[in-house]
Amino acid sequence: MTTVGNVRQMDSGMLLSKYEAGEHEAVWHHIRSLDNLNEEQRTEVVAVAEATMRRVARNVDLLSDRLAKRGWLALFSEHSALRTMPAHSDRSVFIQIEEECGAPLPPTLFAFWKCVGGVNWVWDYRINSSAPNLNVDLPMDEMDPLCIDPPSVATSFLDEWKEQKNDPDRETDDPFPIELAPDYLHKANISGGMPYAISIPFWGADPVFANERHELPFVDYLRLVFKWAGFPGLEDHKERQDVKQFIRTFGEGLIAF
């Protein structure tokens, strides 16, 4: 490893081994310095992204199990579980998106969909009962539960984007925004803002999770989520004793990635 300016540079071919040795943040810091991945770099970055998302999947399973034991029901649970497992049919969605957009899926989104699938911890507000008690006395719009749609949901948005793309009166070539989650207000059945999304083409490794207030790269957004035990809105209430207790107990056993 060498240092250029203030950026630690890592030798190619070593990223996965360094990541698996525990240098999680350093490896991702280096990867994000690669603005335009060549084929060799992309192969290595995808391997690191998959190792990352396998760890994310462990955290998702841990919290999904704890939510399920509390009686937590995912919004539209007839179509979406707390975690939607990856499916063989996902590959056709990847191909369709890449062909229409003329670019590969960003490595971190590809790896999330391949290793995790989808997550939906939005409480089903359609039923006539309150969400199970998590011992945090806050309304749902203050909690912003994790939600990342599985690839099957993206196809409907792709069809809309293709119609706009083929409009003869269209003057710009806008990227395809892959809408992955409602914003924190819509998650609580309140009229809100734009969906959280990742736009492609993106030629780097880890795109920004757009429209979410932190504007973080996707991996760092997921780190934020698990720092707050699946409910990153709790960040605004970090001094509350009920929030501190929730993080200690409900978030116990989560692993770094």
For residues 220 and 206, what is the distance between their CA atoms, to the nearest angstrom?
A: 9
**The pLDDT of residue 4:** 37
pLDDT above 60 (res 110): yes
| Mean pLDDT, residues 167-190 taken together | 86
CA nearest neighbour of 67 among 219, 231, 192 = 231
The domain segmentation of the chain, as residue ranges, is 55-250
Give the pLDDT confidence of 22-43 residue by residue, as tens digits: 999 999 999 999 999 999 999 9
pLDDT above 80 (res 201): yes
For residue 251, the SS3 value is coil
Give the pLDDT confidence of 41-78 residue by residue, as tens digits: 999 999 999 999 999 999 999 999 999 999 999 998 77
For residues 217 and 219, what is the distance between their CA atoms, to the nearest angstrom?
A: 6
Mean residue pLDDT across the chain: 92
| Mean pLDDT, residues 180-184 taken together | 97
Peptide bond into 201 cis (omega under 30): yes
**The pLDDT of residue 172:** 57
